Structure 1
Amino acid sequence: MPDIGTDQGARGARPSPHLPPVAVAGLYLAVCLAPLVLAYLQSVAPMVAWGMAAAGLGLVGLAAMTAQFVTSGRFQIISGGLGIDRVMAFHKTAAWWVFLVALIHPVIYIVPTYIADPALAIERLWAYYTLPHYRSGVIALFALGLLVSVAALHRHLPLPYELWRATHIVLALVATGAGLHHALTVGRFSASASLSGFWWVMGALVAGVVLILYGWRWARLHTRQWRLASVTKVADRLWELDIQPVPGTRPLVYRAGQFVWLTEGTRRFPLFDHPFSIADSPARQGLSLIVKEAGDFTNRIGTLAKGTPIGIDGPYGNFTLKGRGGDAVLLIAGGVGIAPVMGILRDLVARGHSRPVRLAYAAGMPRNFACLDEIGAAASKLDLTTLLLSETDATDWTSEIGLLDRARLSDLLRGLNPKQTVAMICGPGPMVTAVADDLIDLGLPADRIMYERFDYSEGASRLDRRMRRRFLGLAAGLGLGVAAFVAVQA
């Protein structure tokens, strides 16, 4: 099977390696279940099954809490084979089950008491939440509950983006630190040398992750210097930034379609960075980013002065053609989703791609379209068919009007073998969901459909449902681990 994505990154270098998705899942299960294995090897006083279940859930939940620090999408070795959408969707999902485990962990301990004497059980539960001996566990639970609640509601809260991120990391550190302290001071199994050593290692891992994210990467933002060469308005509320490395700074090694985290001026600190797709080919020096005015930072993107210092952290993501064998490429962009799609298209032009390329570009109104002249010129260098689709009409609009439905997708695929076509979709969540399902109905294999959304919320397409089933499979694996732990200790 020919590989339609043969780019090797800037100047022939190879981008950062990453683990296969199966390996990432296996590593996650191994880390989360490791404390159960270490606990099983210890000799402790006998406990009833409910007590074993509560202890097992606490051990797994704490390990999963520490693992959250490396499922944040900022480590390419973890996210490179999965994509930022899937990694962040898992990060959100896992946060809720960690909170659920922390919530029910003390409750399960009192179930036998509740069966015999409900009043005594309530008194015992109240002691868990009020006695100084258990205070660090209560702090961990409160911080974790506040963390997941604010994360779920932050779009509806009057919190600046940077303040929300700072709050998120502080609450995560408080919850994890207090949880580790609780395990080491109260946990029956964690009193053993092997399991306490495991928690110290996990604590050191969390500290190392924070130092990498907010220490080492902060230093790199200042030692690997970039400058804004130009900022150009390319459509209504859309700007294209040309960012060039300062002489002596190594070129960024990336693949077309990936993204970077950007900071600017004196705010070159990881807490203030924002993710933007690369709208460029590795064949060109520097980076092009297409940015939409959509928030506190991006609303002033067009006012940045030429020569502004820029911090670049990346690349990240797997929205690329590399390794996706096929005979044709279908590119689909909605709104500012044109950014990574333009990166892929520009790279296909730069590499003299010879196989068929189909491009569907949808926007709310004609003035929202960017790079139309360049897309038109690409048709002279590629076997390119383009569909431009505006939701609303205008007097000077000569292309199609309406939504990107199944009929239009079918027309765009005419003459191509769907089973040998790779689809790359980027845009608003509802569009991505609808298009992905339509393409599956039109014969494209699910593993040949790649997408990126504007946010990291889980969607409702068949691909999303498959992803959720895999998440549930991991949760079930952890549950089976706890059940086995209880069974062998009984």
Structure 2
Amino acid sequence: MNVVLQSVLWLCAYVVVVTAPLFALLFGPVPPPGGFWWDFSMALGFAALAMFAVQFALTARFRRASAPFGVDILHYFHRYLAIGALAIALLHYLLIRIGSPAVLGTANPLDAPPHLSAGRAALILFAVLVAVSLLRRRLRLEYEHWRALHALGATLAAALAYWHVIGTGYYVDTGWKQALWSAYGMGWIAVIAHVRRVKPWRMRGKPYRVAEVRRERGDAYTLAIVDFLASLKADR
């Protein structure tokens, strides 16, 4: 298949995954009217969570999905989408804070409804994850340590955000809507399991060694790698 066509199809798939929760809001029982800004803020919240959900898949580096773009492009895509999703989530909160502050109630987690506290915690955690990722080198964090903490924090933030969504009531009060969000949740778990367990297990059977390091223009380097087991047989 043509590379351009593959890229277009994957971008369309991304749009479908992100907008599916928005279209789901149009069907089922109608919640009490809250006005344009209220409905708009709800749509932003669902869109932000869907965008954060797709972030897990972007970092999994599935060959079929990454081939048309390249790993570097997906890396930047992941970074800027995270910033965009965080901005949308913040706007979701600010619109409610300005237009319907009574709905948010107290910020004290001991007195506030659990799903609202979960939403606040998720927003703060997502903001910290994005900030630390952008400042990792300045903070002098080792990549492997940062990567492990980033994965753990992202998983916790996604779980809190999912709890927040389930607690909204009217917007996920039908079986098929709950099934939709359950599918997103299972997708997160499947991707995490693939990246942290399945993929490393498969790679253990295919070790490689660095055969050459070539310096390119600027600060770029090319690593030439070879199959470790095949190279051992060749040396013999």
Q: Does TM, scored on the shorter chain, surpass 0.5?
A: yes
Q: For residues 161 and 338 of structure 1, do their structure 2 counterparts lie closer, same or farther at Cα, with a shift above 3 Å needed? A: closer
Please give the alpha-carbon distance, in whole angstroms, between the structure 2 residues aligned to 1:32 and 1:160.
Answer: 32
Residues 106, 128 of structure 1: 8 Å contact kept? no
Question: Is residue 77 of structure 1 aligned with residue 64 of structure 2?
Answer: yes
> 1:89 Cα deviation (Å)?
1.1
The residue identity in structure 2 corresponding to 1:127 is T
List per-residue Cα deviations over 1:311-347 (Å, max 9, x = no partner).
xxxxxxxxxxxxxxxxxxxxxx41564627x89xxxx
> 1:291 Cα deviation (Å)?
6.3
Question: Is residue 23 of structure 1 aligned with residue 9 of structure 2?
Answer: yes
Please give the alpha-carbon distance, in whole angstroms, between the structure 1 residues aligned to 2:219 and 2:26.
Answer: 52
List per-residue Cα deviations over 1:355-406 (Å, max 9, x = no partner).
xxxxxxxxxxxxxxxxxxxxxxxxxxxxxxxxxxxxxxxxxxxxxxxxxxxx
> 1:177 Cα deviation (Å)?
0.9
The residue identity in structure 2 corresponding to 1:31 is V
Where does the alignment leave 5 or more consecutive residues of structure 1 unmatched?
1-16, 114-120, 229-240, 243-288, 293-332, 344-490
Query: What corresponds to 1:147 in structure 2?
Result: 129
> 1:157 Cα deviation (Å)?
0.6
Question: Is residue 33 of structure 1 aligned with residue 19 of structure 2?
Answer: yes
> 1:41 Cα deviation (Å)?
1.0
Question: Is residue 184 of structure 1 aligned with residue 170 of structure 2?
Answer: no
Query: What corresponds to 1:223 in structure 2?
Result: 205
Q: For residues 139 and 217 of structure 1, do their structure 2 counterparts lie closer, same or farther at Cα, with a shift above 3 Å needed? A: same
> 1:164 Cα deviation (Å)?
0.7
Query: What corresponds to 1:66 in structure 2?
Result: 53
Q: For residues 40 and 23 of structure 1, do their structure 2 counterparts lie closer, same or farther at Cα, with a shift above 3 Å needed? A: same
Give the number of the structure whose alpha-carbon radius of gyration is greater. Answer: 1
Aligned length: 219
> 1:106 Cα deviation (Å)?
2.6
> 1:191 Cα deviation (Å)?
2.1
Over the matched positions of the two proteins, sequence identity in percent amounts to: 25
The residue identity in structure 1 corresponding to 2:62 is F
Please give the alpha-carbon distance, in whole angstroms, between the structure 1 residues aligned to 2:23 and 2:222.
Answer: 47
> 1:103 Cα deviation (Å)?
1.6
Provide the secondary structure at the position in 1 that maps to 2:213.
Answer: strand
Question: Is residue 203 of structure 1 aligned with residue 191 of structure 2?
Answer: no
Residues 382-421 of structure 1 correspond to what in structure 2 (within 5 A)?
none
> 1:40 Cα deviation (Å)?
0.6
The residue identity in structure 2 corresponding to 1:217 is K
Residues 121-200 of structure 1 correspond to what in structure 2 (within 5 A)?
121=101, 124-125=103-104, 127=106, 130=109, 131-133=112-114, 134-200=116-182
Provide the secondary structure at the position in 2 that maps to 1:32.
Answer: helix
Please give the alpha-carbon distance, in whole angstroms, between the structure 2 residues aligned to 1:177 and 1:223.
Answer: 33
What is the TM-score when the length of structure 2 is the normalising length?
0.83
Please give the alpha-carbon distance, in whole angstroms, between the structure 2 residues aligned to 1:180 and 1:174.
Answer: 10
Q: For residues 30 and 129 of structure 1, do their structure 2 counterparts lie closer, same or farther at Cα, with a shift above 3 Å needed? A: farther
> 1:75 Cα deviation (Å)?
1.5
More helix by share: 2
Query: What corresponds to 1:290 in structure 2?
Result: 213
Question: Is residue 339 of structure 1 aligned with residue 184 of structure 2?
Answer: no
Q: For residues 93 and 206 of structure 1, do their structure 2 counterparts lie closer, same or farther at Cα, with a shift above 3 Å needed? A: same
Q: For residues 174 and 86 of structure 1, do their structure 2 counterparts lie closer, same or farther at Cα, with a shift above 3 Å needed? A: same
Please give the alpha-carbon distance, in whole angstroms, between the structure 2 residues aligned to 1:129 and 1:74.
Answer: 40
Residues 166, 172 of structure 2: 8 Å contact kept? yes
What is the TM-score when the length of structure 1 is the normalising length?
0.42
Residues 29, 170 of structure 2: 8 Å contact kept? no
Query: What corresponds to 1:301 in structure 2?
Result: none
Residues 41, 93 of structure 2: 8 Å contact kept? yes
Please give the alpha-carbon distance, in whole angstroms, between the structure 1 residues aligned to 2:45 and 2:108.
Answer: 15
Please give the alpha-carbon distance, in whole angstroms, between the structure 2 residues aligned to 1:67 and 1:150.
Answer: 20
Query: What corresponds to 2:92 in structure 1?
Result: 105
> 1:222 Cα deviation (Å)?
1.9
The residue identity in structure 2 corresponding to 1:290 is V
Query: What corresponds to 2:195 in structure 1?
Result: 213
RMSD after superposition: 2.5
> 1:224 Cα deviation (Å)?
2.5
Runs of 4+ in 1 over 6 A off after TM superposition: none
